[in-house]
Amino acid sequence: MAKVEKVKTPKPEELSNISYHPPATDWMDTPTEFKPGTYCWGAKEKDLITLGLPNPRQWSPADEDWKVPEGWETTILDGIAERLSKYRSFKVFMDICVRCGACADKCHFYIATGDPKNMPVLRAELLRSVYKKYFTKSGKFLGRLAGARELDMDVLKEWWSYFFQCTECRRCSVFCPYGIDQAEVTIIGRELLNLVGLNIDWISGPAAACYMKGNHLGLEPHAITGNIETMCDDIEEITGIRVNPTFNRKGAEILFVTPSGDFLGEPGIYTCMGYLMLFHELGLDYTWSTYASEGGNFGFFTSNDTAKRLNYKIYAEAKRLGVKYIIGGECGHMWRVLNQYMDTWHGPADFLEVPVSPITGTRFENAKSTKMIHISEFTADLIKHNKLKLDPSRNDHLKVTYHDSCNPSRGMGLLEEPRYIIKSVCNNFYEMPENTIREKTFCCGSGSGLNASENMEQRMRGGFPRANAVRYVQEKHGVNMLANICAVDRAAFPALMDYWCPGVGVTGTTELLANALVMKGEIRRTLDIRLQDLPGKGGNE
Amino acid sequence: MDIKLKDLIEGKRSVILERWFDAIIETYPTDATGFLKKKQDRFANPVGHAISKGTEGILEVLVGEKELTEDLPFLNDIIKVRAIQDFTPSKAISFVFLLKTVVRETLEKEIRQNQIYDALLRFESKIDDLALFAFNIYVKCREQIYELKTDELKRMTYTLLKKANLMYEIPVPEFEIKDPNCNT
């Protein structure tokens, strides 16, 4: 029988004995530790097989042996070479950084941990040092003196740890004088890791489900229609109006695509009810699809090819149904993909028309090429043209602040529309401090596929700078509701708020609109969209 | 609290706070650039802000007349941050004890000259009490992390359970039933 080693109990004075010195080792010599709560589970074998990605096997990041295939070094280096020739941006980002440090203290993970490897500059350096060693003369000859290092298993593990600690929010790139987009460095880093089968479960699982069923949650058509029917029942209870959405209807004018999180979890479903109510009130000729049932794209956090494959269904479905254009729901990274990648991958969508609002006649020239507009653009335009009857007093019990979701704000400049909607439907709106909103918005800490549960501590760290600003307006103005336009926000923020700012709820912007929307023929509203009594409106409060 | 010691501490309040703050920041061994020490913007450096505001508040309570209770918002603020950072439980709350060393070192000469060791001992016992409160708060924070995980799961699956008739919520009755036999 193996001898059980006695655990040495430290003495009290040993416990409080703190080293007051910075690490003795240089960053290159500081190994990565994997502590539970700070990393996500590794990608599962079955999901990698489904997606046709390399090296499917059962493994755990906590294991010493990550079971990477033999010759993995060559695979990675060939992968870097291929991407250097394919993406000019990658080559420029590898060469151009002058280490000015402007980005260093802009990352929410760095701000909350003080871990230098979470500085965007150093996160990029993890990859850049390998690039230097194998792809530059100075690195080949001068080695470490030129900041170059060999690629080995420790480096690979370090990449995995830190590229899955970046939420690709791009806050750092706002401050970079050269415009280096750290999100793209992370994207390439994750692509390289995927070449040897190193993804996380929370990304590859949803990506595989999306590949098979059309959405991240793996909801089958009857589950989607069933859930929406349930929402229609609730809407009827609240408003007295029966909403009758259609599914997969050929010949509809508009296809509506939203992240599948809106079909299922709280508080996403309330935003979804908002869409249903708004479209019904307008008499919009639109349809839902149970095939293109996902606006988000976790393939985007895997590789360009996987993202492209998952995105394909949106145009394909628009073509099959013969719609004129597409409206998309409230989501974050979905919009970076739709706004910046979809047209290059699968466009130009000549079979569609430039979106024109059937209610106001506004032509959305900004979507001339993609033929897809954001629900906030569509709604803000309706309000601007006075096409909606609104009673903002129904939101009077709410003191609202707005979180600019990273991708729509920094990725497509959607800054004013959501604010315009909120101000039109709520009487109490308070902005968070200037350096925490708009282009400088702080990430929720859970973006880019990091909203798993097993990494809860990491999420609480990453979201701390955002929550800190929410707490400020909570204390100063009594803010009790955090609005956003992102499904990951709606899924991740409730936990973040519970921890840092208890008492602050989370809502999609369209849910606020639905509360205030006065529908033709509705009963006197005593309930809000969550079926809670509306204070001051004769409910049983 | 002993008037003499109180005066001494208040006289050197800013030095004590500065040293305590520095000692706490040094528990972040990776912060080699001194980022966490920057205090100018509470939004750019929320960790530093929580620690600096927190230490001020704690010292005020310790030298004040008010009784120590667990309801100390600034203690809560610091521990919340440290509970999710890379610390073992002991290291996470060790910052409380650092104050003892800081006070002893800063006021070494004065304490000797005035012979107020008794008062110092009482003050340090108060810090020990604070550490026990800190322990309670820390455990609460850690428990909450686990609760957050289960709550999140519930939010994710709520609709499905309801739909599959696996869950039923008893609606709130419109009127209270006044039944004398009912145990309400």
pLDDT (tens digit per residue) in B25-37: 988 877 777 888 8
Chain B 42-71, residues with CB within 8 Å of chain A CB atoms: 42-47, 49
* Residue B149 touches chain A, beta carbons under 8 Å: yes
Domain assignment present for A189? yes
Domain assignment present for A522? no
Strands A400-402 and A481-484: parallel
- B45 vs A contacts (CB less than 8 Å): 105, 111
Domain that holds residue A460: 207-516
End-to-end CA distance of chain B: 49
**What residue in B sits closest to A472 (Cα-Cα)?**
B43
Task: Give which of A183, A169, A176 is closest to A404, Cα–Cα.
Answer: A169
Q: Chain B interface, mutation test: which of A464, A473, A493, A530, most B Cβ atoms within 10 Å?
A: A464
Task: Give which of A399, A389, A440, A397 is closest to A422, Cα–Cα.
Answer: A399
| pLDDT value of position A303 | 95
A177 and A225 both lie in a single domain: no
Contact (CB<8Å) A111/B47: yes
Tens-digit pLDDT profile for residues A377-404:
999 999 999 999 999 999 999 999 999 9
As a three-state string, the secondary structure of chain B is: CCHHHHHHHHHCHHHHHHHHHHHHHCCCCCCCCCHHHCCCCCCCCHHHHHHHHHHHHHHHHHHCCCCCCCCCHHHHHHHHHHHCCCCCHHHHHCHHHHHHHHHHHHCHHHHHHHCCHHHHHHHHHHHHHHHHHHHHHHHHHHHHHHHHHHHHHHHHHHHHHHHCCCCCCCCCCCCCCCCCCCCC
Alpha helices in A415-539 (DSSP H): 416-425, 456-462, 464-477, 487-500, 509-516
| pLDDT value of position A35 | 87
* Residue A240 touches chain B, beta carbons under 8 Å: no
Contact (CB<8Å) B30/A461: no
Helix (H, G, I), strand (E, B) or coil at A152: coil
Domain assignment present for A4? no
Tens-digit pLDDT profile for residues B41-91:
899 999 999 999 999 999 999 998 778 777 788 899 999 999 999 899 999
Contact (CB<8Å) A494/B151: yes
A263 and A212 both lie in a single domain: yes
A334 and A433 both lie in a single domain: yes
A182 and A316 both lie in a single domain: no
As a three-state string, the secondary structure of B51-85 is: HHHHHHHHHHHHHCCCCCCCCCHHHHHHHHHHHCC
From A136, A168, A199, the end of a domain falls on: A199
Residue A488 distance to chain B (closest CA, Å): 12
A246 and A215 both lie in a single domain: yes
Tens-digit pLDDT profile for residues B104-152:
999 999 999 999 999 999 999 999 999 999 999 999 999 999 999 988 8
Domain ranges of chain B: 3-163
Contact (CB<8Å) A264/B159: yes
| pLDDT value of position A102 | 93
A105 and A89 both lie in a single domain: yes
How many beta-carbon pairs below 8 A join chains A and B?
A: 130
Q: Tell me how many domains chain A contains.
A: 2
Alpha-carbon span A19 to B44, nearest angstrom: 26
Residue B29 distance to chain A (closest CA, Å): 5
Alpha-carbon span A149 to A155, nearest angstrom: 9
A189 and A211 both lie in a single domain: no
User: Which CA distances in Å does B37 have to A92, B14, B48, B174?
Assistant: 34, 15, 6, 57
Chain B 67-96, residues with CB within 8 Å of chain A CB atoms: 80-81, 84-86, 90-91, 94
Contact (CB<8Å) A18/B152: no
Chain A 108-147, residues with CB within 8 Å of chain B CB atoms: 110-116
Between B39 and B85, residue with greater pLDDT: B85
Domain assignment present for A529? no
Alpha helices in A87-151 (DSSP H): 88-96, 108-113, 120-135, 137-142
Contact (CB<8Å) A115/B151: no
- B44 vs A contacts (CB less than 8 Å): 105, 111, 435
* Residue B128 touches chain A, beta carbons under 8 Å: no
Q: Chain B interface, mutation test: which of A468, A473, A475, A501, most B Cβ atoms within 10 Å?
A: A468
Place of tokens 């990352």: A107
**What residue in B sits closest to A225 (Cα-Cα)?**
B163
Can the peptide bond before residue A267 be classed as cis, meaning omega within 30 degrees of 0? yes
Helix (H, G, I), strand (E, B) or coil at A392: helix
As a three-state string, the secondary structure of A473-485 is: HHHHHCCCEEEEC
Q: What top-level class would CATH report for the domain B3-163?
A: mainly alpha
ipTM of the complex: 0.84
A119 and A218 both lie in a single domain: no
A230 and A137 both lie in a single domain: no
What is the 8-class DSSP label of residue A522? P
Contact (CB<8Å) A491/B155: yes
pLDDT at B9 over 80: yes
Domain assignment present for A349? yes
- B145 vs A contacts (CB less than 8 Å): 37, 456-457, 460, 499
Task: Please give the average per-residue pLDDT across B2-12, as a whole number.
Answer: 91
**What residue in B sits closest to A456 (Cα-Cα)?**
B145
Quote the radius of gyration of chain B (alpha carbons, Å). 23
Tokens of B19: 């040293």
Domain assignment present for A356? yes
Contact (CB<8Å) A495/B172: no
From A199, A219, A251, the end of a domain falls on: A199
A417 and A475 both lie in a single domain: yes
**What residue in B sits closest to A222 (Cα-Cα)?**
B163
Q: Chain A interface, mutation test: which of B84, B148, B175, most A Cβ atoms within 10 Å?
A: B84
Domain assignment present for A7? no
| pLDDT value of position A16 | 53
**What residue in B sits closest to A226 (Cα-Cα)?**
B163
Task: Give which of A393, A438, A442 is closest to A413, Cα–Cα.
Answer: A438
Contact (CB<8Å) A464/B46: yes
* Residue B151 touches chain A, beta carbons under 8 Å: yes
- A110 vs B contacts (CB less than 8 Å): 35
Q: Cβ contacts of residue A91 below 8 Å, gap of 6+? A: A84
Low-confidence residues of chain A, pLDDT below 50? 1-2, 18-22, 540-541
Residue B140 distance to chain A (closest CA, Å): 11
| pLDDT value of position B184 | 41
Q: How many CB atoms lie within 10 A of CB B98?
A: 21
Could you tell me the pLDDT band of residue B166, with boundaries at 50, 70 and 90? low
pLDDT at B180 over 60: no
Contact between B63 and B9 (Cβ < 8 Å)? yes
